[in-house]
Amino acid sequence: MKKRINRAVILPVVLVGIFLGTVSFRSDFFEIAKQIEIFTTLFKEINMNYVDETNPAALMDTAIKSMLTDLDPYTNYWNEQDVEAARINSAGEYTGIGALVKTGAEAITVVEVYKDYPADNAGLKAGDEILKIGDISVADFKEDAGELLNGAPDSNISITYRRQGEIRTTSLKRSAVELDAVPFYKLLEDNSGYIVLSRFNAKASTEVGRALKDLKNQGADKIILDLRGNPGGLLNEAINVSNIFIPEGELIVTTKSAIEKYNREYFTKKEPIDTKIPLVVLVNGRSASASEIVAGAIQDLDRGVIIGARSFGKGLVQRPRELAYGTQLKITISRYYTPSGRCIQALDYRRRDEDGKAVRTRVEDYNEFTTRNGRKVYDGGGILPDISLETSEFSDITQALLIEDAIFNYATKYYYSHELSDPSEFNFTNEDFNDFKKYVENSGFEYQTATERELNDMLEKSEDEQIRTRISSEISNIKTAINNYKKQQLEDKKPEIASLLTDEIIKRYFYKEGLYEYYTKNNPEIERARAILNNPSEYSKILK
C-alpha cells in the first residue's frame, strides 16, 4: 500500500514545484504555496492513516472537482477519457455505435440514433435502456459505462437492453462515426437557402461555405442560417463562419482577461463568400458560446436579422491546459465581447446567492450599446433577437420538463402507440397536448417556481421566529395559488412546449434529417424568416 500512496503523492509534489515556478511573480505566491503544502500533507496523512482502505485517485478527483465548483461550470478537470471525448467533439469523428446516449446509475438511455450507423442497423431506438454491454452490467460499472460503447473499428459487441419493459438483446459492429457540422441544407421554393449548423467543430466553416456555394449555384438569393440548439465549440470556427458573410478585416470578437496575453481582438482574415445576400440567423435558449459570437457579430454589424428567442448567454472563453498523465484543465481564461462592446454573459459567477448559485444579470442592469447603423442592443443576457417568437422560448416550466425528461419520455410513449409514414402528415393536435398534460400529471412531475423558493425560505425563517402557526392559513392560500399558476403554465406555454414535443416525436420516426425536412414546411421560425427575407423593405427597415 505504501508504494501506491507514494505514487499518489508524487503528482501534487511535482505540481507544487511547477506551480511555484510559474507564479513566483505573483504577490500572493506565498499564500498559494502555503495552501498547496497544507493540502499535500493532508492528502498524504489521509491515505497513510485512515481507518479504511482509500482510493487516492478518487479522493483527488473529488477534491479537484469540488474546488472547481466554486468557479464557473465551464472550468473543468478532464481525465484521459474526457480529453478523448473533447477531441472527438472538436474533430467531428469517432469509432462507436452511432448514437447519442445518457448514462444513468442503472442503465444507459439511448437519446438519439444516427441514421444508417451500427445502432440504427441493429434496431436500437431512442428510449431504449442499455443494461449490459457484453458481459458487463451497467449498474455494476463504476466509471462512465458509455465509454464501453466505443472501441476499435469493426469490433463486435453484444448489447442487452430494455424496451417498453421487455428485455432484448442485439449485436453490432462498431464503425467510424462522422458528425457533420452541417447535417442538413436545402433550397426552398422561394429560393431561400436553409442551412443548419449544429456544432462548431473543426469542419464548421468549411461545411457552411460549401453549403452556401451549392445553394447559390442552385439559385438561392437569400439565406437562413439555423443556430438553434447549437451549444458552440471552437472560437476560431466562429470567426471563420462569420467571415463567410462579413468582409475581411472586420472585428468579430474581443476577449478580455486579468492575464494580459489573453486580451485579444479577432478579425476576419479571409475573402468572404457573400457579403450582400440577405441573411436571417435563427437562435434560441440553447444557442450558446460560438453561436452567440456569430449571431452577435451579424447583429452588431447589421449584416442580417436575428429571429427566435434570447440565446443562452455564455460569454466566457475556455482554453485546455495540459496536466500530467494525459489529463487536462479546461479553464475559463477570459470574457468575450461582440463588435459593439457588449458581453452577453448572463450569469455572474463572481456574485452568488444564499444557495451559492450564480446571480443572473437583471434586465435593469443591462447596458445599452449600438450597432453599426445605430440600433440599440444590450449586454448581460444573451443575444436578444430582432424578432422574438414564443415558439422558440424556454420558460422555467419548459426547462423543468426537459430536465425531468418528460418531453423525451412522452415522445417514446407516443412513438409506440402511433403510426406515422410521412412527416408532412404529422400535426401535434390539441387532443395530443391534452394527453401530454395528463401524462405529466400522472408522472409525478414537479418543479419549483422562483416564488416557491422564496416562500420556502420565508417558512424557514417563520419557524425560527415562531410565527408560522399564525400565518398558516395565508401560506395555504399562497400555495394553492401557486399550484393553480403552475397548472396554468402548461397551457400558457403551450406553443413552446408543443414545438419541442413535435421535434422529439418527428425525430423518432424520421431521424434528425426528417426533422429538418419537416422544418422547411412547418416551422414557425422558418416561416417568419422567409416572410422577412421576401419583404426587402421590411428587412431593410429592421436593420436601419
Active centre residues (catalytic): 289, 300, 314
Burial 316-343 (b: 16+ CB within 10 A, else e): bbbeeeebeeebbbbbbbbbbbbbbebb
DSSP 386: S
Distance CA 544, CA 539 (A): 9
Cell numbers for 538 = 421590411
Distance CA 117, CA 511 (A): 12
Distances (CA, A) of 30 to 34, 42, 259, 523: 6, 18, 20, 59
Q: Please classify residue 33 by burial: count the beta carbons closer than 10 Å to its beta carbon, then call 0-12 exposed, 13-18 middle and 19+ buried.
A: middle
Q: Concatenated DSSP letters for 486-528?
A: HHHHHHHTHHHHHHHHHHHHHHHHHHHHHHHHHHHHH-HHHHH
Q: Please classify residue 90 by burial: count the beta carbons closer than 10 Å to its beta carbon, then call 0-12 exposed, 13-18 middle and 19+ buried.
A: middle
Q: Concatenated DSSP letters for 443-463?
A: TT-----HHHHHHHHHHHHHH
Distance CA 469, CA 371 (A): 56
Comparing C-alpha atoms, which of 245, 241, 310 is closest to residue 496? Answer: 310
Comparing C-alpha atoms, which of 501, 314, 312, 479 is closest to residue 391? Answer: 501
The CA angle 376-381-383, to the nearest 5 degrees, is: 60
